[in-house]
Amino acid sequence: MKLCFFHLMPYQDLPESFEKDYHSVWVDAPNSLFDPEKGHHMYNDFLDELEYAEKMGFDAICVNEHHSNAYGLMPSPNLMASAMTRATSKAAIVVLGNSLALYNPPIRVAEEMAMLDVLSGGRLIAGFPLGTAMDTIFGYGQVPVTLREKYQEAHDLVMKAWTEREPFAFNGKYTQLRYVNIWPRPYQQPHPPIWVPGSGSLETWDWTIKNDYVYCYLSYSGYKVGKTILDGFWDEMERQGKEFNPYHAGFLQLVAVSETDEQAQEYKDSIEYFFKKSLHIPGGFGNPPGYRSVKTNASQAGAETMQSRTKQLSDFTWTDYLEAGNVIVGSPETVRQELTHAIKELRVGNLMLLLQFGDMPKELAMKNTTLFANEVMPHIKDIWSEYETRWWPEKLTEPSKSASKNTSQ
């Protein structure tokens, strides 16, 4: 198992009736709501939490890119990752990731990620999301129907920039460059492992499998809905004749651990803040015409995730979130059981844990992290030990780190 500590860096001080008074947390939430002084403290708390995760033995720390929103305050995840290269030394740094179509020219991604890889001594995992519609279509003005093509072209350019050792010209539809010659080049050869976050688009499955990348399903619908998506991914793998390996997929799960099940009520406010405020997104922003293919919109997975999400956002209460598996909450024993069940149901080897969410204060985030690391981690870390991952920084998979896993070379 690879256990990754994921942070969204949410804005934590939205008004009490935000979801009633404002149209959306993304795209058009006015930044008059952002208090820079509070923001300063939030950023530093969040970076402390990421550093602490490494100390507590997480395999990786994860940052991610979002724009024009109070859901996640990282328009540039690379800046946060950069701070982490200096503050950590053992954990993989997962930048999940850079939305390739948003960079002009996209070699900026090749350059910055190469910098991160060299700075960290080869600990970077490079994530290439298409990006949510809020980030790409509405925040960054991309044309929906050509976004995926632009993204794929940018991917081809970045990969070539990482692997070519001589300057080359690139004549693309969206980017034309007479000289491509990035300095520095990545520490890891031929390039850092690549993970692709998706939300159930059939196109993303197909492309991820063809390129032999890790597919990550990041949703907050919880593992019960997530299973529909990942089953679809594993089915597609099988159809394409690929060998099963749990490390081929990743999944994000909200987890909250307390001393007892009753005590876990202490997370109630943060959970509700997260689902009601941080995810206050009107349907029109989530899936504009052209963003997903007709095929995906018509697919069962597409319809189910949209439907269940809308319902969860508007109607759910604390107990509903727990029952639906949006959040795995409770005593260490409860969490161990439910999480083990989820991992096996989903068949995922890379688990991204969201232990800070919503307006959860630093002390509670630290407590959650501590309890998870001490009481849960030891019981799940050896799941899938019979498999090896080829999507992890080589430097970090040395025998000393995974001696018990009988790693062959």
Q: Considering the complex, what minimum distance in angstroms separates the CB of residue 202 from other proteins?
A: 16
Position 335: which residue type?
V
Among 27, 63, 74, 218, binds other proteins (CB under 8 A): 27
With binding defined as CB under 8 A, does residue 303 bind other proteins? no
Q: Considering the complex, what minimum distance in angstroms separates the CB of residue 285 from other proteins?
A: 5
25 vs 214 by CB, closer to other proteins: 25
With binding defined as CB under 8 A, does residue 299 bind other proteins? no
Could you give the CA distance from residue 246 to residue 86 in angstroms, rounded to a whole number? 31
With binding defined as CB under 8 A, does residue 283 bind other proteins? yes
Peptide bond preceding 77: is omega within 30 degrees of 0, i.e. cis? no
The region of 57-65, 263-271, 279-287, 357-365 touching other proteins under the rule CB under 8 A is 279-287
The region of 176-184, 285-293, 341-349, 395-403 touching other proteins under the rule CB under 8 A is 285-293
Could you give the CA distance from residue 301 to residue 201 in angstroms, rounded to a whole number? 8
Among 151, 285, 357, 391, binds other proteins (CB under 8 A): 285
* Residues with Cβ within 8 Å of residue 145, at least 6 apart in sequence: 290
Q: How far is CA 302 from the centre of its chain?
A: 19
Q: Considering the complex, what minimum distance in angstroms separates the CB of residue 141 from other proteins?
A: 4
The region of 250-258, 278-286, 355-363, 368-376 touching other proteins under the rule CB under 8 A is 278-286
Count of residues near other proteins by CB under 8 A: 19
358, 12 Cβ separation under 8 angstroms:
yes
With binding defined as CB under 8 A, does residue 30 bind other proteins? no
Q: Which residue's entry shows tokens 């003005």?
A: 141
In terms of Cβ atoms closer than 10 Å to its own Cβ (0-12, 13-18, 19+), residue 400 is exposed
How far the first Cα of the chain sits from its last, in Å, is 18
Q: Which residue's entry shows tokens 């844990």?
A: 353
223, 342 Cβ separation under 8 angstroms:
yes
Beta bridge pairs of residue 253:
353
The region of 50-58, 95-103, 144-152, 228-236 touching other proteins under the rule CB under 8 A is 144-152
With binding defined as CB under 8 A, does residue 337 bind other proteins? no
284 vs 378 by CB, closer to other proteins: 284
**DSSP assigned state of 100:** G
| Site for other proteins, residues 173 to 212, rule: CB under 8 A | 173
The region of 134-142, 188-196, 242-250, 342-350 touching other proteins under the rule CB under 8 A is 134-142
Token representation of residue 133: 């519609």
Token representation of residue 359: 């307006």
| Site for other proteins, residues 85 to 104, rule: CB under 8 A | none
Q: Considering the complex, what minimum distance in angstroms separates the CB of residue 175 from other proteins?
A: 14
With binding defined as CB under 8 A, does residue 165 bind other proteins? no
User: What is the DSSP code string of 213-237?
Assistant: PEEEE--SSHHHHHHHHHHHHHHHH
User: By the criterion CB under 8 A, which residues form the site for other proteins?
Assistant: 27, 137-138, 141-146, 173, 282-285, 288-290, 294, 297
